[in-house]
Structure 1
Amino acid sequence: MFDPTAFDNLKTVLEGTIYDRDLDGTISILNRADVIDIATLNRSYSVIFQSAPKEIEAEMSLKADLKKLAVELLPSESGEQNKFAGAVISITYRKKGTAWDAQELEIFNKQWGQERCWELRTISSNRHEPICEMTIQFDRTITEDMLRDVEEMVYYTIETADLLGSRKKQ
């Protein structure tokens, strides 16, 4: 019988929590991607959604590479399953414009903590309005023992998008 990998279980919790919020009308899912790269044996899952204010898009991404899969599937010398089997998660917020203002950055810092690793990007195009992004990276592997944390991340992601969206209306 097939035993799901840590990535499969984390993806199921992430996907289920987000789709439950879509069903109850809290968010609207805009897109999703579930990709297996055959050349590198990397897996990724991402889902993009908007909360009620609709000015802010959020994307939650889950990624696992061959090393994480191998750690999980190949027996260790001690016979224990490696605690590093799992995936990494990142969250990207997007809005129209060229920059996040000081109040928006304060919301990010308050919600996610100042010590969190993040990256700001502006995407310019001659066909569309500029878009700015904030990607929050988590510097640790998310394991199956942290399934509750994945659910909480979804709620925090939605709450942050709501705060950013409602701030624009003030």
Structure 2
Amino acid sequence: MLFDPVVFENLKVALENQLYDLDNLDSRILITDRKDIIDMAVMSRKWSLGFTLPHRKQACPLKAEMILSSSIRDLSDEILERKGTTPACSLLLRFTCFVEQPLIECPIIERIIDETWDRGLIPEQRLTATFGDHTLPVDEWVPRYYENIIDLPFNRRINEEQMEDLESLIEHTIRTLEALDQVVL
């Protein structure tokens, strides 16, 4: 007996195909990381593909990551064909970069995302710094830079009906990465 692939698998394969073509055929991006995780404790799936711009290969980190996830409830609703449910997955875009002056650069990053996406998506920016510059006394330590992890969650879930939108989603992600490249380390 053959089974149809679930929504998660179909979206994952579609995203992978388009992103790998942009890396291998078009050289517009450079794929740097891929994860395909099954969490057996809660029976969830999570797939992510990270990429950067080709000239950033050796430079300070600036990357985008597309993260697709599905819970056991999503999977069971789809396989059991439960009435009143629509099989779908969650999508999160994550951008990672370094900033030196967060009070200046973080509002610029928010504006870039707002202008690029034009959908009222509100990014969540989380800054971290690693302690370790021992040339200054501890009470005078100030980070040289901060890692900024920018999450861009979508307020709706996606399924195969949005398959045609994936190309536009990827293009917006690359445009965001290119714009960030102009303002961050």
Give the TM bin, normalised by the shorter chain. Answer: 0.7 to 0.9
Contact 1:13 1:151 (C-alpha < 8 Å) held by counterparts: no
1:62 is aligned to 2:68: yes
Q: Counterpart of 2:90?
A: 88
Q: Give me the whole-angstrom Cα distance separating, in 2, the residues matched to 1:95 and 1:75.
A: 42
Two-structure CA RMSD over aligned residues (Å):
2.2
> Structure 1, unaligned stretches of length 5 or more?
none
Could you say what secondary structure the match of 1:117 adopts? Answer: coil
Q: What is the number of residues matched between the two proteins? A: 165
The residue matched to 1:11 in structure 2 has which SS? helix
Measure the CA separation in 2 of the matches of 1:26 and 1:12.
19
Matched, 1:106 2:107: no
In structure 2, C-alpha distance between the alignment counterparts of 1:123 and 1:14, rounded to whole Å: 30
Distance 2:13 2:83 in 1: 30
Does the Cα contact within 8 Å between 1:52 and 1:162 map onto a contact in 2?
no
Deviations 1:30-72 (A, max 9, x none): 1110001111110000011102452621111000001111111
SS in 2 for 1:133: strand
Contact 1:85–1:141, Cα closer than 8 Å, also in 2: no
Q: Runs (4+) of structure 1 moved beyond 4 Å?
A: none
Check 1:18–1:97 CA distance in 2 against 1; reply closer, same or farther (3 A cut).
same
1:15 aligns with 2:5: no
Cα displacement string for residues 87-137 of structure 1 (whole angstroms, at most 9, x for unaligned residues)? 110111111125334333211111123621321101222369531121100
The structure having more radius of gyration, on CA atoms, is 2
Structure 2 equivalent of residue 139 of structure 1: 155
Please, what TM-score do these two structures have when normalized by structure 1? Answer: 0.87
Query: Percent identity of the aligned residues?
Result: 27
Structure 2 runs not aligned, ≥5 long: 134-144
Is contact 1:30-1:48 (8 Å) kept?
yes
**Among 158, 161, 165, the residue aligned to 2:181:** 165
- Residues 17, 151 of structure 1: 8 Å contact kept: yes
